[in-house]
Structure formats: C-alpha cells, structure tokens
Amino acid sequence: MKTITTALVNHKGGVAKTTSVLNLAAGIARTGRKKVCIIDADMQANTTMAAFGEEMANIPEDMLLENVLQAVMQDRLPEVKPLVWLEGVDVLPTSLDLAAMEVIMNTAPGREFMLREIVRALEGKYDYVFIDCPPSLGIITQNALMASDFVLIPTDGNYFAMKGIEKIHYIISLLQRKLGAEVRVLGYFMAKFNERRKLDADIRESLEQVLGDKVFNTAIRNNVALGEAQYKARSIFDYAPKSAGAEDYLRLTEEFLVRVKRMSK
C-alpha cells in the first residue's frame, strides 16, 4: 500500500488540529495495525509537547523538523528519525525554532517542495503520514499541501473559522494551477461541537449546505477528557477509552479510512 499523506489545515487557531492529528493517528494504529507518522510542522510545537510532555526538552536537535529542513536546503539527503510516541505511532518533532526556519525558507529556491522531500524519505516505512500545520497559510502550510495526497480541514462553531475555508480553497487552487499540487480535499469536520448551542448547529447546517458530502458525519463533541489526555501525553483511547472523546475520534477514524480508500481508487 502506498503511504497516504494528509495535512490538517486551518489558518484559524484553536480548532483542534493538534488534538485531532494525535487521536486520528492513534485511532488508525489501534484499529488497523498500521504504522503512522505525525510531522509536527507547527512552530508552536503543540503536537510535540502533547506527545512528549517534559521530555520535549531532551529531544536531540538533529531529530527536529527544522534541522531536517536545513539539510534539504543544503541539498543534502534528509535523515529523518521520528520518535516513538505510542505503539504504531511515531512523531517527527519540532521546536519553537521552526519559526526562524520559516523565515529562511521564504527566500530559498524550491521553497514549496522541501517538506515533500522529507515525506518521500518516509515512504514505505509508514502506512499513513499526518502533517499538523500551523494556523496560517504561509510557506510551511504550502509545503504541507504540496507534500500531501489529501487535506483534512477541522473547524469549530465559529463564524470566522467557517469563512476561512474560502481562503484555504484559494491557496489549494493556486498551488494546483501554478505548481501542479495533487492534493485533494478529503473533507471537513467540526470539533469542539456543542450540540446544545444553536450557533454550532447552524454552522454545521451551513457547512453541509455549501460543501455537501465533503462534511464528515462525525463531529467531535466538547469533552474535558480530550484536554486531560493531552496534558498526560496520552491518546484519548488510552486515557479515557469510554469517554465521548474516544467514541467520537473512533468514529472519525473509521470515516477517515473509508473516505481515503474510496478516493484512492
């Protein structure tokens, strides 16, 4: 099976990209005995912090994404050494220094293709690769889109998050036309969903009217266990397997795998 790479993108922060990438990866590893790698491409390093907690400070510099990117910029073969988070799930970590690397990348030749070289180095070693993108549509997010087969867009019950989807579509279209990007939109899902809140229900209805079956049936409900699991550097399935969060992410995982299989034919 070809390695399937998916970028989680929304240029608005706080829409549960990190929570989703961690628990989707964990869900896939649990349900299908698959190998998954997460690339933390967000200069806030939230995925790295959520996966490794205080141990993040002890990660060797040569294992960080920004150092691998530097090797690519120097036209050296990237040595990619993801770290084990859970059984079946590895993480290519980053640090706050990625912000400085993004500035350098903006002036580098072939700047939109650097992350693709790193993903290619992971081909055959993993069944699925997820890229946790920063809350922007800058050069790193563009790199992630150029390196991915699919893009998955989480949103929340916020009017501005929904409006931001138009900008994501614009960037994807531009990369497809100008640089030959092959990435396709796998779908959209709502996180931090409060079924009792009218605005959440209204926004979900609007998404379905505009985007049709691209909207996942699964919505991730507000659940305190999700935040607690991240604080403990664990997946929701290990921390609270009977919680609403575990139930929702299991359904999202199943729906994700069905959509990938259908769109990969």
Domain that holds residue 234: 4-255
For the residues 157-182, what does the mean pLDDT come to? 84
Residue 101 maps to which CATH number?
A: 3.40.50.300
Domain annotation covers residue 246: yes
- Give yes or no for residue 159 having a pLDDT over 80: no
Asked whether the predicted pLDDT for residue 89 surpasses 90, the reply is: yes
* Confidence at 165, pLDDT banded by 50, 70, 90: confident
Structure tokens at 165: 């989807």
Average pLDDT of span 171-188: 95
Query: Is residue 174 domain-resident?
Result: yes
Phi-psi region of 134 (alpha: psi -120 to 50; beta: other; left: phi over 0): beta
Mean pLDDT of 227-241: 94
Residue 264 lies in a domain: no
Number of domains in the chain: 1
Highest-pLDDT range among 6-15, 140-149, 206-215: 140-149
Range in 21-35, 106-120, 149-163, 170-184 the model is least confident about: 149-163
Q: Name the token pair of 157.
A: 């019950």
Q: Which residue has the tokens 């933390």?
A: 40
**What is residue 48's predicted lDDT score, i.e. its pLDDT?**
96
Residue 237 CA: distances (Å) to CA of 15, 135, 230, 243, 247: 20, 26, 11, 9, 9
Q: What is the pLDDT of residue 192?
A: 84
The stretch 250-264 carries a mean pLDDT of 95
- The pLDDT > 90 percentage for the chain reads 72
Lowest mean pLDDT among 5-14, 169-178, 191-200: 191-200
DSSP per-residue letters across 8-52: E--SSSSSSHHHHHHHHHHHHHHHH---EEEEE--TT-HHHHHHH
Question: Is 62 strand, coil or helix?
Answer: helix
181 alpha carbon, distance to own chain's centre: 18
What mean pLDDT value characterizes the chain? 91
Residue 260 is assigned to a structural domain of this protein: no
Q: What is the pLDDT of residue 203?
A: 80
Q: Closest Cα to residue 46, out of 2, 78, 14? A: 14
Instruction: Select, from the ranges 145-149, 202-206, 217-221, the one with the highest average predicted confidence (pLDDT).
Output: 145-149
Q: Do the domain assignments include residue 263?
A: no
Alpha-helical regions (H) of the chain: 17-32, 46-52, 65-73, 98-105, 114-122, 139-147, 159-179, 198-211, 224-231, 236-239, 244-263
As beta bridge partners, residue 7 has 131, 151
Q: Are 146 and 156 in contact (CB under 8 A)?
A: no
Question: What is the arithmetic mean of pLDDT over 179-199?
Answer: 89
Average pLDDT over residues 39-53: 94
For residues 228 and 196, give the distance between their C-alpha atoms in angstroms, rounded to a whole number.
23
Q: Is the pLDDT of residue 247 over 90?
A: yes
Residue 111 lies in a domain: yes
Three-state DSSP string of 227-244:
HHHHHCCCCHHHHCCCCH
Q: What's the pLDDT at 79?
A: 86
Q: Which of 47-51, 52-56, 101-105 comes out lowest in average pLDDT? A: 52-56
Say how far apart CA 163 and CA 218 lie, in whole Å: 20
262 occurs within a structural domain: no
Tell me how crowded residue 177 is: count the other CB atoms within 10 A of its CB.
9
pLDDT at position 27: 97
State the Cα–Cα distance between residues 51 and 64, nearest whole angstrom: 14
In the chain, % of residues over pLDDT 70: 97
C-alpha span between 51 and 72 (Å, rounded): 25
Which residue type does 254 have? E
Q: How confident is the model at residue 1 (pLDDT cuts 50, 70, 90)?
A: low
Question: What is the structure's pLDDT at 179?
Answer: 96
Give the phi and the psi of residue 244 in degrees, each rounded to 5. -60, -35
Largest CA distance in the chain: 53
- Structural domain contains residue 221: yes
